Amino acid sequence: MTVWDDLQGQDAVVAQLRHAAQGENPTHAWLFTGPPGSGRSNAAKAFAAALNCDQEDVALRGCGECHACHTILGETHSDVTFVRTEKVTITIDEARELVSKAGDRPASGRWRIIIVEDADRMAERTTNVLLKAIEEPTPRTVWMLCAPSPADVLVTIRSRCRPVSLRLPPAADVAALLVRRDGIHPELADRAARAAQSHIGIARRLARDEEARERRLETVKSPLTLRGVTAAVMMAEKLVRIATEEANSSNDERDAAEKAALLTSLGAPETGTLPPSMRSQVRQLEEDQKRRAKRSVTDSLDRTLTDLLSFYRDVLIIQLGNAVELVNVELKGELEAYASRSTPETTLARMDAINTARIRITTSNVAPLLAVESMATSLIQQ
């Protein structure tokens, strides 16, 4: 086992990072890009482990067996800082803390490493806080930024970073990973990998959660009964409900656990009114949780619309002659019947409508239900 084993279908990236980890002076700033599910953060984590691996033989670095590899992969190594946000953006104050942390010398490893998993969630003012630290790095410090595409990072930042471009792995590779790593039955792993369109994290959730599979199937089948404005409004409500349930299923339990942990750490009384100092900290936690919940619903709705998009993707594939494998093979009969009632041009227009809704929901303050209703009316069968 090595730190590279989970980077399925990324042979070129693994070769690039292995070579860099074996050198004495790796580039001080890296930009990992690739579509959601391609494994950007996993690649950065594996690279960090290889850079600080305990092996003296450079050819063996990234062994996956030493103390450094284990603690970095487990995100407990003192010299590797992981930055991810479950809020809408990374704040300026958080960026300033990173710059301060980057100035520390490594305590036990060869390198102080800062991994920013959501570099695309920094506003321009926030990114500028990092610019000088990346432009004139502290010795023995390596920055690793992750984003969906180079365009999601300011040009002044990306011009100072060495690019690492990942792609979505083939579904067969994702299925093989689920079988090997998670013990999923091969047939279920194959279905989950195809349904997730090679998104490793989504595939793992679909393979392990039957309710998640049912919610996805309900979403994908929505266009089959879409006739008339009333049906479009009902479809929009259903899609938003599915996305909200998906997000809330993980948020509620986590929110309660976080609040209980905070009260315990503050020494709060089991009954009665909290002191003012404690109330302010609990209020801050609740505000952070509300911001996280908003992003969770937005992300979940975007994923729900991506699942819906797979229906029209399959319809288009059928209309163009079945050149590649369908995502929703189990609906092949329904897809063929639907495809026969429209044209490729109409299908492309419907796909554009879904992508427009995704952009509106993730980049503006439009009410999600209004955006999805507008989209749904564009999908009505004539």
pLDDT tens digit string along 84-105? 876 667 778 888 888 888 888 8
Tens digits of residue pLDDT in 129-142:
888 888 887 888 99
Please indicate whether residue 266 or residue 339 has the higher confidence score (pLDDT): 339
What pLDDT digit, counting tens, does each position of 204-252 carry?
889 998 888 998 999 999 999 888 999 999 999 988 988 887 777 666 6
Which residues have C-beta within 8 Å of that of residue 357, sequence separation ≥ 6?
305, 371, 372, 374, 375
Q: How much is the pLDDT for 146?
A: 93
Q: Per-residue pLDDT averaged across 177-198, rounded?
A: 91
Q: Is the pLDDT of residue 69 over 80?
A: yes
Helix (H, G, I), strand (E, B), or coil: what is residue 212?
helix
Q: Per the structure block, which two tokens stand in for 167?
A: 């792609």
pLDDT (0 to 100) of residue 191: 93
What is the pLDDT at residue 276? 75
Please state, rounded to an integer, the average pLDDT across all residues of the chain. Answer: 87
Q: For position 280, what pLDDT does the model report?
A: 77
- Which pLDDT score, from 0 to 100, does residue 179 have? 93
375 pLDDT higher than 90: yes
pLDDT of residue 44: 95
Q: Is the pTM of this model over 0.85?
A: no
Instruction: Please state, in angstroms and rounded to a whole number, the distance separating the CA atoms of residues 288 and 280.
Output: 12
Start-to-end Cα distance in the chain:
55
pLDDT at 198 over 70: yes
User: Is the pLDDT confidence value at 196 over 70?
Assistant: yes
Contact 303, 202 (CB under 8 A): yes
H helix intervals, 267-330: 276-319
Which amino acid, residue 373?
E
Average pLDDT (49-68) is: 92
Mean pLDDT, residues 151-174: 89
Is pLDDT above 90 for 5? no
The residue-averaged pLDDT of 117-140 equals: 84
pLDDT of residue 7: 87
Q: Encoding tokens for residue 304?
A: 């729900």
Q: From CA 310, how far away is CA 354, in angstroms rounded?
A: 11
